[in-house]
Amino acid sequence: TMALNTHRHLELYFAVPCIGATLHPINVRLAQDHISYTINHAEDKIIFVDDLLLPLLESVYDKIKDMVEKFVYMSDKPGLPDTKIENIYEYEELLNQQPDNFEWPYLDEDCYATLCYTTGTTGLPKGAMFTHRALYIFTLHMVSHAAFVNDPTYHSLGENSIPMVTTPLFHIHGWGAPFIYTFLAVKMILPGTFTVEGFCELVQTEKVTSVAVVPTILALLIEYPDIDKYDLSSLVTVSVGGGALPLGLKTKVEKKIPGFTASSGYGMTETAPTTVRAFVKKYMRDWSKEKLDEVRVKQDCLSLDLK
């Protein structure tokens, strides 16, 4: 898939693995040479592309056309675009041609479901493959650690939660959002292309309760001159990853949005992605907010080098 955070991309997150195929969300933020490399290395046969990303696909088309057999165009507007890409079909038209019922195949839990490529490694991107079992266990891990955490400042996901998926779905499963929120049967907001104005409008309109972002998004948010025009009071939890959360930035954001609590975590492509989260322990409950903030941004993590 070459797609943003849309309902069609979410549909593909389930449709592709559930027919026994492997979903490869192409990281469109990679350099063009790396994009074409990952497509050829993964031996992608069908690419689903958003209308906004069609120019990017066209720019690498000559390097992938011998590998990819078909292309599917996804847009709110009917019809196919004027493009040099051959063997291209319209997503919604393909759906209209299909029956309402589908007999899902029986799949072994060790069948491959997804393939993601690294971005922070040296050299060329490295592929990491995930089975159905791995994604299921990862989802249970995320749901359980949120449900049983002792942190009194952490708001657990529940039926009244309305998360917004701001992490790109092409980046390590959108940090697991498609699987976690679907598993919990909560309403999720898919913003498409991210803008600070659009973010604020969706939080206000949809009463969003939680988001997951990188630190640069938080910085853009507090620097937005019109932020005070929006009611962001529904937003109570933000998970920060993809980089260290500076204490100064955390303090500024929580001061700007009352009731808003930011906590950081760590993960990597190979872990699908989340590994650890910085939560308040039981014995820390009486500590001052300032001391807790300092602990969160400087929390140590034990690791083991397996060789």
Among 52, 79, 107, identify where a domain stops.
107
pLDDT of residue 37: 97
Q: Evaluate whether 48 touches 12 at the Cβ level (below 8 Å).
A: yes
**What pLDDT shows up at residue 58?**
98
List of residues 6+ apart from 11 with CB closer than 8 A: none
Q: Is residue 132 part of a domain?
A: no
> Per residue in 77-93, pLDDT tens?
999 999 999 999 999 99
Predicted pLDDT of residue 272: 66
Domain total for the chain?
2
Residue 270, in any domain of the structure: yes
Instruction: Locate the DSSP E strands across the chain.
Output: 46-50, 70-74, 88-90, 112-117, 127-131, 163-164, 210-213, 237-240, 261-267, 274-277
Q: With a cut of 50, which residues of the chain have pLDDT below it?
A: 152
The reply to whether 162 and 88 lie within a common domain is no
First to last CA, the chain: 35
**Domain span at 29:** 7-107
pLDDT at position 132 is 97
pLDDT computed for residue 277 by the predictor: 64
CATH number for the domain that contains residue 197: 3.40.50.980
Burial annotation 226-235 (CB, 10 A radius, 16+ → b, else e): ebeebebeeb
Report yes or no on 85 lying in a domain.
Answer: yes
Which residue in the block uniquely carries the two structure tokens 């959002």?
177
Same domain, 97 and 158: no
User: Which pLDDT score is estimated for 195?
Assistant: 93
Residues 262, 203: one domain?
yes
> For the whole model, what pTM was predicted?
0.86
Do 165 and 283 belong together in one domain? Answer: yes
